[in-house]
Structure 1
Amino acid sequence: MESTAGDSSVQAQALINWELAASTAARLAPAGPSLGSAEIGTAVENLRLMADISVPHVHDITGLEAARDLRDSSVLVVDRASWAKANTQSFAVMLKPAMEKMLEGRRGAMSPGAASVSGAITGSQLGAVLAFLSSKVLGQYDPFSALAEDSTAPAAGRLLLVAPNIVQVERELNVTPEDFRLWVCLHEQTHRVQFAAAPWLRHHMLSEIDTLSEHLLGNVDTLLERASAAARSLKDRTAAGTAPGRGAILDLLQDPEEKASLSHLTAVMSLLEGHANVVMDAVDASIVPSVKTIRQRFNARGKDRGVVEKFIRSLLGLDAKMRQYTDGAKFVRAVVDVAGMEGFNRVWESAANLPTEPEIHDAKLWLERMGH
């Protein structure tokens, strides 16, 4: 008997056991900093306050009118387990179309039982990855989970501030908590403003992610072979002390269309992260009194990471993400120097105005295309 579209949707969700991923991440996540109940309450309240205070500053720096009214999304202060669960919800939205297409192309090749077993294995593996990441992320704007059928999130999305990680880092750096929290919120609220200023951006990114994941899942027959080759390559590069590239997981991409999709997403992410970094770096001591100390100490982090953590970060492409912050910030500053913030803000008008990856590395190309 042939599968129906509904069956395909159900099996697609079963390919990754999202609930198991969330529970595995909660179980494996490293313990956070030691805080009493009163300290937790104070930190949560203060983070919410800093999130509110940061919005007018984002408006002043970016000139984006969207920063005047952000009621279409919410700000949540969460722990590591809640952050991981929120990301399983986002991943479910992002990967559902590609998984359904994969199953449709393999109709009858995978029984519900096989899908369930596969889902448990994949869910456990994803949970382990999220457990590692859950102790590294300070904040994240999530525009996708609101698209889930059973979502109770505001229509535009939600901003997650991971309280234990923010407290842990401010303690490690020995910086003023209120200053550090405001500094972090400036970056994260900028992401919230970006998606409010460009309401088309969420579906544009979702379409590109769908294209990329469809290629990966569509080539599932060679995925294991490519994964093994990528892992060997990463091990060799790590041993030789050479640059890790974009990360072993992204090294799985071979098809020109896959690489084109990745290039576009890389450019968009570089833009978003770089713009947020420019905003947080635009403040002075009148807004964040100890900002100079915070910048110096925060930028010096990571030099003493252990071998295992460095390997995992390379595998996941996290160091490549850090380069996105740098590359994107250089692009934003170069454009603003020539066209001003108003000229730069044309990137939020339409997908056609988004920079390409070559343009991220050479802002003159984007400026010429925009008529400057």
Structure 2
Amino acid sequence: MADSLVDWDLAARTASRLAGAGPQTTRAEAAAVVDELHECAGTAVAHVEGLTGLTPAAGAPTPVTAVVDRPGWVRANTGGMAALLDPLTEALQEKSGSRPGAVARAVGGRATGLQAGGVLAFVSSKVLGQYEVFGTGGRLLLVAPNIVDAERKLGVDPHDFRLWVCLHEVTHQLQFTAFPWLRTYLESQVQEFVRVSDLDPAALRERLRDVVASLSDAVRGKPLEGDAPAGLMALVGDPAQQAVLDRVTAVMSLVEGHAEFVMDGVGPDVVPSVRTLRKRFGQRRKGVGPVDRVLRRLLGLEQKMQQYADGRHFVAGVVDRVGMQAFNTVWTSPGTLPRKEELTDPQRWVDRVITPY
């Protein structure tokens, strides 16, 4: 992968070296955490299916849960990023008819790989879980050291917190196994992004390098100077590209908001301290220090927090109006997905999708 936009192998090695092991645990404690996370992931399935009324599609692959450390998360995500970004770069090169020389590709890829590694190291210390949609796909990842670190810092019941996290991630797992077209739809949006893009690969590389360099500076605590790139969104400027991004933002807000709704919706009968968890976890998401806050802004994590909020508002608003069964119409096809402007106005979606029928 050394001649791609980013040397992902180097990024993975760099991130794994910088990430740190996480909180101190004995071997027995670590083994117990792994066992309980597997158990919680299994337990969460019935609760999520019961609340949502959804089940995996016929023939859907059996879900796999992997409890990983920080380097394990890094390896999974560099693979997923390569699966998305490398074909994008290749398609842009084919479209433009230009291709940088081997030396330029290798040098540029290594430089960006080193910087990306620093960013991935930061993120790998924060993320709790993830359902892999791209890359290998189909795996539920639970990052054990980060879950233990978070529950200790929040001062919450470990079992409740672990189940609560699993409820969120298992909801994502169910979304993509119940409706396989969702992954195909997201992949088609990447292809559409390429189709409407006239960005030269060399310019894309330079703009990506500027963004990653700013993120790398923030990781090291270097203050921002002037107008720093506005996160990864700095790579998008064309109106047609923005339209694609709006569609992706809408569907990602839906899946994130749906998971937020479910993890709280199971109630105290399933997670006794759910209200305490929500209150304390909400504070955690705001970031705890100046470097943390800068990185969240540059990485677009603040936008992701808005996706959680808008998506949850949409799901709760629709369910309140028409019930869960009618809400599940949202998963029928790309045409029934919410539009970006409907996320903050659920009645507009109801009027467009539900009322006509």
TM-score normalised by the chain length of structure 2: 0.88
Match of 1:370 among 327, 334, 353: 353
Change (3 A) 1:108 1:78: same
Offset at 1:227? Answer: 8.0
Shift of 1:22: 0.8
Picking from 121, 138, 160, the partner of 2:128 is 138
In structure 2, C-alpha distance between the alignment counterparts of 1:213 and 1:93, rounded to whole Å = 14
Structural mapping, 1:103-142, within 5 Å? 103-105=93-95, 107=97, 109-142=99-132
Q: Distance in 2 between matches of 1:217 and 1:42?
A: 52
Matches within 5 A, 1:1-372: 14-66=4-56, 71-105=61-95, 107=97, 109-146=99-136, 157-212=138-193, 218-220=199-201, 222-223=203-204, 224=206, 247-302=230-285, 305-372=288-355
The separation in 2 between residues aligned to 1:189 and 1:48, in whole angstroms, is 11
Identify which range, 168-177 or 30-39, moves more after superposition: 30-39
For structure 2, the residue ranges without an aligned partner over 5 or more in a row are none
Quote the offset at 1:206 in angstroms.
1.5
Secondary structure in structure 1 of the residue aligned to 2:56: helix
Question: C-alpha displacement at 1:15, in angstroms?
Answer: 3.1
Query: Does structure 1 retain, via aligned residues, the 8 Å contact 2:16–2:121?
Result: yes
Higher mean alpha-carbon deviation, 104-113 vs 55-64, is at 104-113
In the alignment, structure 1 segments of 5+ residues that lack a partner are: 1-9, 147-155
Aligned CA distance change for structure 1 residues 277 and 260 (closer, same or farther; 3 Å) = same
How far did 1:301 drift?
2.0
- Judged with a 3 Å threshold, the aligned counterparts in structure 2 of structure 1 residues 26 and 60 are, in CA distance, closer, same or farther, namely same
Report the AA paired with residue 264 of structure 1. R
SS of structure 2 residue aligned to 1:218: coil
Letter in 2 for 1:143: V
- C-alpha distance in structure 2 between counterparts of 1:304 and 1:225, whole Å: 26
Call closer, same or farther: CA 1:55–1:336 in 2, change over 3 Å. Answer: same
Q: Is the 8 A contact 1:227 1:249 kept in 2?
A: no
Residues 108-160 of structure 1: CA distance to partner in whole angstroms, max 9, x if unpaired?
A: 642222212222112212211111100110000012113xxxxxxxxx51110
> Residue 43 of structure 1 aligns to which amino acid in structure 2?
V
Distance (whole Å) between structure 1 residues aligned to residue 56 and residue 244 of structure 2 = 28
SS at match of 2:142: strand
CA distance in 2, matches of 1:115, 1:217: 20
Cα RMSD (Å) of the superposition?
Answer: 2.8
Distance in 2 (CA, whole Å) between partners of 1:277 and 1:108 is 44
Query: How big is the shift at 1:219?
Result: 4.1
The alpha-carbon deviation at position 69 of structure 1 amounts to 9.2
TM-score (norm 1): 0.85
Q: For 1:277, give the aligned amino acid.
A: E
The 1-side partners of 2:72 and 2:50 are apart by 32
State the distance in 1 between where 2:36 and 2:210 align.
46
Letter paired with 1:97: P
* Pairs aligned (count): 343
Distance 1:169 1:28 in 2: 19
Distance 1:312 1:210, change over 3 A: farther
Following the alignment from structure 2 to structure 1, what is the Cα–Cα distance between the partners of residues 201 and 292? 28
1:15–1:250 distance in 2 versus 1, CA, 3 Å: closer
Letter of the 1:319 counterpart: E
Report the 3-state secondary structure (helix = DSSP H, G, I; strand = E; otherwise coil) of the residue aligned with 1:52: helix
The one-letter amino acid of 1:161's match is: L
User: In the superposition, relative to structure 1, how do residues 290 and 271 fare at CA in structure 2: closer, same or farther (>3 Å)?
Assistant: same
- CA distance 1:108–1:270, shift in 2 (3 Å): closer
CA deviations 1:38-97 (Å, max 9, x no partner) are 111110000000000011000111000229997533110000111011001111111232
Work out whether residues 77 and 161 of structure 1, in 8 Å CA contact, stay in contact via their aligned partners in 2. yes
Instruction: Show CA shifts across 1:6-34 (max 9, x none).
Output: xxxx88x6332221111111011134000
